[in-house]
Amino acid sequence: MFDIAVVGAGVVGCAVARRFALMGARVVLLEQGPDILSGASKGNSAILHTGFDAPPGSLELACMRAGRAEYLEIRERLGLPLLETGAIVAAWSDDEQAKLPAIAAQAHANGVTDVTLLDRAALLARIPTLSPHIKAGLLVPGEHLIDPWSAPLAYVLQALAVGATVHRRTQVTAARFDGACWQLDTTTGPFRATTLINAAGLFGDHLEALALGEASFTIHPRKGQFVVFDKAATKLLATILLPVPLERTKGIVLTPTIFGNLLVGPTADEQDSRTNAGTDHQSLQALIARAHALIPALEHMPVTALYAGIRPATERKEYRLRHEPARHYIGLNGIRSTGLTAALGLAQHAASLYQTPHTPIATPPWPQAPKLAEHLPRDHHQPGYGEIICHCELVTRREIEAALTGPLPATDLGGLKRRTRATMGRCQGFYCQAHLATLTAGRLDPPLETPHAP
């Protein structure tokens, strides 16, 4: 019997599980995928936003502001990185340039008062690799980079450390509220909890319909494809380059990553599938061409990786929150690219809706996230790591072993990659995948080898 069942272990579900566990509630976190972050949260642009361009007065803005503040407050205790890059909203035409003052005004209205308009000369002085076609820009110093996978992992690890339970590969098949309590049938058995929190991301509408009989929104999956350039490209750009926002999405971003790569994306492709995060050649070429247009020196940089994420967009732009106090239901849905920033804030918001008192954990332990940021000391800086397994991303055997043990071990290759970065570099497993198959034997499903060799 639990106080809280959180369904969906994306970044929001992980943050919510942590918040309620720290409040002293008995929490169970249920995830249908093989690992946390295996849905929408696995593919994003990894930016800790300021909210400068969020809708004024919105819940989204409030959650982003609160989430960002909490991240900055707790990150050092959880060993989470921050790369203070700042961002530039870059205008490439007179029309775009004309929109910058309004964006600056909105930033001020949103409490982000340190933005500065920069002219072409100032931009080129600041970023000499920028295409000379740049017109003007708005500097937003507070936009930063974080590790999009270690952060939610650390949230869950802390939740686990104070007594929460996590079940992966667990799909909710039925949900019944009996007037006091939720009965959840799942693929790994029944669970009972007083309150149900829907953080099911791409399946949020399905879960809401399952629980409440009807869904107040519909997920319209929106795929975002990304191209990752080689680590050598990071010397070409140390600042996030944002486009002047379009009506529907934030548009295509060119940004360094905390792992020392350069990333361009996302596209915004409407599709029916909630699971097919496939890329397509044409879109990838268009993204690369866009990156070359922004930073011409990228032309000779190799491509390291391709991926796509699926955002759980709905028929409306705003977050789709639903609170049904009588039925002990809180829904946190329709959360797109700002979810990484807003997650801790959304968790605070959900906690504020919840009225049952518990005894908060007085002195919670602070588990340490994997140390994967390129600008900070990595595991290979500490003696005794055994050997480097993944040479491109400098992943040690000690890191692989840590990711396969502990309270939330990786059980699939995706989970191992997100915890260590193994095979995520330029050779994509050419050198290390076979060795990894040996190190992970019996630990991953599906395994990296064909069992019972012919």
Partner 1 sequence: MPPEPAYDALIIGAGPAGIGAALALKSRGIHNIALLERETDAGGTPRHCGHPPFGLREFRRLLTGPAYAKRLARAAFDANIPLLPRHSVLALHPGGTLDLATPEGPRTLTARRVLIATGAREAPRAARLIGGERPLGVLNTGALQAYCYLEHKAPPFTRPVVVGTELVSLSALLTLRRHGIHPVAVLESGPTPVAPWPLSLFPRLLGLPVHRNAALASINGFPRVTSVTLQNGSELACDGVLLTGRFTPESTLARMSHLALSTATKGPAIDQYGRTSDPAFFAAGNQLRAIETAGWCFFEGRRIGEFMADDLQGGLPAPGDELTLTPGEGIAYVVPQRLARVSPLRATLQLRLTEPALGQLHVRAGDTVLLRRPLISAPERRVLLELDDLRPPPGTQHLTIEVAQ
In the complex, the smallest distance separating the C-beta of residue 279 from partner 1, rounded to whole angstroms, is 4
Question: Cβ distance 199 to 332 under 8 Å?
Answer: yes
State yes or no: residue 442 binds partner 1 (CB under 8 A). Answer: no
- How far apart are alpha carbons 424 and 403 in whole angstroms? 15
For the chain, the distance separating the N- and C-terminal CA atoms, rounded to the nearest angstrom, is 47
Nearest of 285, 304, 295 to residue 239 by alpha carbon: 295
User: Considering only 53-61, 342-350, 403-411, 443-451, which stretch makes contact with partner 1 by CB under 8 A?
Assistant: 443-451
Site residue total, partner 1 (CB under 8 A): 58
Please name the helix (run of DSSP H) or strand (run of DSSP E) that holds residue 205, with its range, or none: helix 204-212
- How far apart are alpha carbons 56 and 65 in whole angstroms? 12
Question: Cβ distance 345 to 215 under 8 Å?
Answer: no
The residue within the footprint of partner 1, chosen from 85, 194, 267, 304 (CB under 8 A), is 304
State yes or no: residue 324 binds partner 1 (CB under 8 A). Answer: no
Name the one residue in this structure whose structure tokens are 């100032």. Answer: 122
Name the one residue in this structure whose structure tokens are 């058995």. Answer: 189
State the chain's maximal CA–CA distance in angstroms. 67
Quote the radius of gyration of the chain (alpha carbons, Å).
Answer: 22
Which positions ≥6 away from 187 have C-beta within 8 Å? 32, 169, 170, 171, 173
Closer residue to partner 1 in complex, CB, 421/426: 426
Closer residue to partner 1 in complex, CB, 144/378: 378
State yes or no: residue 128 binds partner 1 (CB under 8 A). Answer: no
Closer residue to partner 1 in complex, CB, 333/396: 396
In the complex, the smallest distance separating the C-beta of residue 259 from partner 1, rounded to whole angstroms, is 14
State yes or no: residue 238 binds partner 1 (CB under 8 A). Answer: no
- Binding mask 370-399 vs partner 1 (x if CB under 8 A, - otherwise)? ----------xxxxxxxxx--xx-x-----
Question: Cβ distance 41 to 70 under 8 Å?
Answer: no
Q: Is 378 left (phi over 0), alpha (psi -120 to 50) or beta?
A: beta
Segment 397 to 436, residues that bind partner 1, using CB under 8 A:
412-413, 426-431, 433-435
State yes or no: residue 188 binds partner 1 (CB under 8 A). Answer: no
Residues facing 240 on adjacent strands: 87
Question: Cβ distance 71 to 134 under 8 Å?
Answer: no
State yes or no: residue 300 binds partner 1 (CB under 8 A). Answer: yes
- How far apart are alpha carbons 355 and 108 in whole angstroms? 34
Closer residue to partner 1 in complex, CB, 93/187: 187
In the complex, the smallest distance separating the C-beta of residue 90 from partner 1, rounded to whole angstroms, is 25
The residue within the footprint of partner 1, chosen from 230, 374, 393, 399 (CB under 8 A), is 230
User: Considering only 175-183, 209-217, 299-307, 330-338, which stretch makes contact with partner 1 by CB under 8 A?
Assistant: 299-307
State yes or no: residue 448 binds partner 1 (CB under 8 A). Answer: yes
Task: Provide the 3-class DSSP secondary structure of residue 9.
Answer: coil
- Binding mask 209-228 vs partner 1 (x if CB under 8 A, - otherwise)? -------------------x
In the complex, the smallest distance separating the C-beta of residue 398 from partner 1, rounded to whole angstroms, is 9
- How far apart are alpha carbons 187 and 179 in whole angstroms? 24
Closer residue to partner 1 in complex, CB, 174/434: 434
In the complex, the smallest distance separating the C-beta of residue 45 from partner 1, rounded to whole angstroms, is 17
The site for partner 1 (CB under 8 A) is made up of 34, 228, 230-232, 235, 275-281, 283-285, 288, 300, 302-307, 380-388, 391-392, 394, 412-413, 426-431, 433-435, 437-438, 446-454
